[in-house]
Amino acid sequence: MTTKAATPERRSARERLLAAAEELFYGEGINTVGIDRIIERAGVAKASLYDCFGSKEELIRSYLSARHDARQKRITEGLKRFATPRDKLLGIFDIQSEAFLSHSFRGCPFVRASAEVKPDSAGKVVCDESRSWMRALFVDLAKEAGARDPAMLGDKLLLLYDGAAVSAQMDESKESLMNAREVAELLLDKHLH
């Protein structure tokens, strides 16, 4: 008796479109990539894109939402490795460096998208939500760590986080990641009780 090898489940048209958008939007830019390239990469009919998303703008919003959810999960899960709020604040930079060191890293997808989407678009809303989440994470951890001014420390750490992302993309250097963590430690020493 022979058994058939298990065939992998075929992904839905929505999943394939999102995967194609992820690859092409992140790799080449939102405005550079047209719908025809996305549906070709996804291997679906044009009608599938409109059935699943209704428009390119909704596909962009969905792509950015998926990126935001993935980053939230990656950071939230990664922070479980650290015991104290101070360690968690520094841990964000460790988690960030893990992402930056991947071969596919091309910069922060939200910074890249913010430069391309219209100010009143659904994609801009997701970029703003993602940034607000990062700021709130830094501020909340700074508060838990006993910072004299958690909002100010959170803003400084967010600026450092953003700068490390740009530097890692532009310089393709691991040193920027180590430097960002080192500066974060100095900020924590200065601002924590």
Q: What is the pTM of this model?
A: 0.88
Q: Is 146 left (phi over 0), alpha (psi -120 to 50) or beta?
A: left
Q: How far, rounded to the nearest angstrom, does the alpha carbon of residue 72 sit from its chain's CA centroid?
A: 8
Helix ranges, the chain (H): 13-28, 35-42, 46-52, 56-79, 85-100, 109-114, 122-144, 150-171, 175-191
Check: CATH 1.10.357.10 for 65-191?
Answer: yes
pLDDT higher at 172 or 108: 108
108, pLDDT greater than 90:
no
- Dump pLDDT digits (tens) for 21-66: 999 999 999 999 999 999 999 999 999 999 999 999 999 999 999 9
Q: Check residue 103 and give its pLDDT.
A: 65
C-alpha to C-alpha distances, 26 to 98, 110, 189, nearest whole angstrom: 18, 10, 36
Per domain, the residue ranges of the chain are 10-54, 65-191
Quickly name the fold that domain 10-54 has.
Arc Repressor Mutant, subunit A (1.10.10)
Q: Check residue 25 and give its pLDDT.
A: 95
Q: Is 45 buried (19+), middle (13-18) or exposed (0-12) by CB count in 10 A?
A: exposed
- Dump pLDDT digits (tens) for 48-60: 999 999 999 999 9
Q: Average pLDDT in the 108-112 region?
A: 89
Can you name the residues that pair with 164 across neighbouring β-strands?
A: none
Residue 72 burial (CB count, 10 A): 14
Tokens representing 8 are 């992998």
Q: Check residue 3 and give its pLDDT.
A: 53
Q: Average pLDDT in the 76-91 region?
A: 97
Q: Check residue 7 and give its pLDDT.
A: 45
Q: Which is nearest to 134 in space by CA: 190, 189, 81, 79?
A: 79
- Mean pLDDT score of the chain: 90
- Dump pLDDT digits (tens) for 137-191: 999 999 999 999 999 999 999 999 999 888 877 876 667 778 999 999 999 999 9
Q: Say which residue the tokens 């988690």 belong to.
A: 95
Q: Check residue 99 and give its pLDDT.
A: 80
Q: Check residue 140 and give its pLDDT.
A: 98
With contact defined as beta carbons under 8 Å apart, do 153 and 147 qualify?
A: yes
The alpha carbon dihedral of 183, 157, 155, 140 has a sign of negative
